[in-house]
Each structure stands twice: as C-alpha cells, then as structure tokens.
Amino acid sequence: MAGAEGNGIMKRMWTGVGDFFDERFDMRRVIKEFAEHNVPDHVNWLYCFGGITFLCFLIQLVTGILLAFYYQPTMDQAYSSILHIMDDMPFGVFIRSLHAWTANIMILMVILHMLRVFFHAAYRPPRELNWLTGVLLFFITVTFGFSGYLLPMNQLSYWATKVGSEISASMPFIGPSIQAFLLGGAKIADATLTRFYAIHVVILPVTITILLGLHFLMVRKQGIADPL
C-alpha cells in the first residue's frame, strides 16, 4: 500500500514538472510532432549514416568532457596525463579508446552520408543550402580529427602535426601565416598545443553545434529527398 502511494506521489510530481515546462515551452506538442512524423516509404538503411554520425558526435562530446577533467595541454604533461587517464582512472582505457575509435567511425560515417546524398542527388533545390552545411560539417569533422591527433603529444602525433602544418604552409600567399597561427611560433611548442586544444574543445564544438542545428532544421522543414 505504501509503495503504491509512493508511486502515485512520484507520478504526480513528474506530471507537475511536465506541466510546468509544457506551459512555458509547449513541449508536449513538439514531442508529439516528432514522435508521430511519418518516415517516407523509400527510406532504408542507406539513410542511417547521418544519424550514426550524430550518435558518434554525442559519444565524442560525453567522452571528451570526461577526458578534459584530467588532460593537461602542455608539452611536458600531455602524454603523462594520457597515461594517468589510462592507468589510474576508473574506466580510463575504455573512455579514451571509445573517444579515439568513435572519432574514426564518425569520419567514416560522414563520408558515407555525403556519398549517399551525392549519388541520390539530394542536393537538388530547395536542399542546396543543406548540402552546403553538410560539406562544412564534413570539413569540421576532419578538423576535429586533425586537431585531436596532436593532443596526446607522442611521436606519431608530433610528426603528423608537423606534416600537416607544412602542408598548410604550402598554400599560396596565406600559407605561412596559417602555419604561424596554428603553431603559435616557428615550431611545435606549448603554444601549439594550447591552440589545438582550444580549437578542439571550444571553437569546433560551438561551430558544429550551430551547423547541426541548422542542418536538422532544414531537414525537418524540407523533409527527406525522394530518390532519383
């Protein structure tokens, strides 16, 4: 009897919380529209790549926040902090491995998603702006991978960053300026690691969140493109 009474109290409490937010944000109507939205008959597993990419991004977000609590973005402490995460923190190896592997899967999924959109010609009007946001999201995803590759500061990440910065320096006119901006000087040092860390955990997440919002809003507004 006491258990049933407790369940009734909890149910009324959650109902009250739901009413509070629904009165201010009309949440029940929005949730109902999403839940009851019909999926076109032509949609199959090929249309799942975009959703898998977004799922990978959410995993990256959660695991990245957990890693940021222990990571130290300095040349002397970066690699040792990674070892500390993997050796001393509970589930550290799992969280770091999940972050690293999900990054690779995210890049693969966004490539497959763009190929599906391209070969289905889903960039046709009025979806051309959505295609452009998708292209920007692709480049941001690749930049995520490149900027995160330096952070462990081991030999592999050091030389990969050196090669990447030299490639940017080969661009006509603005190349040397871009390289100087990325490195924060003439060589890879603490300033380089700080800049890549800021790009990886602040600039890119904010940018990709805004673009994802626009991307999803246009998909919701225009619907899923019909096949050729």
Q: How many whole angstroms from its chain centre is CA 185?
A: 29
pLDDT attached to residue 93: 94
Confidence of residue 96 (pLDDT cuts 50, 70, 90): very high
Lookup: tokens for 160: 């990969």
* Rounded distance between C-alpha atoms, residue 195 and residue 51, angstroms: 30
Query: Span 176-194, mean pLDDT?
Result: 87
179 contacts 166 by C-beta, under 8 angstroms = yes
Q: What is the pLDDT of residues 109-143, one digit of tens each?
A: 999 999 999 998 888 888 899 999 999 999 999 99
Q: Tokens at residue 82, please?
A: 């990674």
| Model confidence band, residue 32 (pLDDT cutoffs 50, 70, 90) | confident
Domains of the chain: 43-222 (1.20.810.10)
- 132-141 confidence digits (pLDDT tens): 999 999 999 9
The pLDDT score that the predictor gives to residue 3 is: 57
Between 2 and 114, the higher pLDDT residue: 114
CA dihedral 159, 147, 56, 82 (to 10 degrees): 70
C-alpha torsion sign, points 81, 82, 84, 89: positive
How confident is the prediction for the chain on average, in pLDDT?
87
Sequence-distant (6+) residues with CB within 8 A of 170 are none
The per-residue b/e assignment along 201-214, b for 16 or more CB within 10 angstroms, e otherwise, is beebbeebeebbee
What pLDDT score does 228 carry? 63
Q: How confident is the model at residue 102 (pLDDT cuts 50, 70, 90)?
A: very high
